[in-house]
Amino acid sequence: MPLYSYQCTKCEKEFELLVSSSEVPLCPTCGSDKLDQLISRVAPEGKSKAFAKNMRARAGREGHLSNFSRSERGRR
């Protein structure tokens, strides 16, 4: 299912939803189906790898190793 960005025309909240082709998306805040689909923002190239590396390092420091492969867990 693709991820789409919306803005509710009733309460003006912006949000993202995973939506299949048969679903009618609803605002998670007010329940309205009066939504404007927005152009989705994408991560700038090269930034996502650095972000993932920083978040994995933080998780490792905090002891949350579930996002590491088996070989990476053994090195710690």
Domain spans in the chain, listed from the N-terminal domain onward: 3-38, 42-76
Bridge-partner residues for 14, per DSSP?
7
Task: Answer yes or no: are the C-beta atoms of 25 and 33 closer than 8 Å.
Answer: yes
pLDDT computed for residue 55 by the predictor:
78
pLDDT at 22 over 80: yes
Residue, of 54 and 66, whose pLDDT is higher: 54
Predicted model pTM? 0.52
| Residue of 42, 32, 49, 44 whose CA lies nearest to 5 | 42
pLDDT computed for residue 47 by the predictor:
66
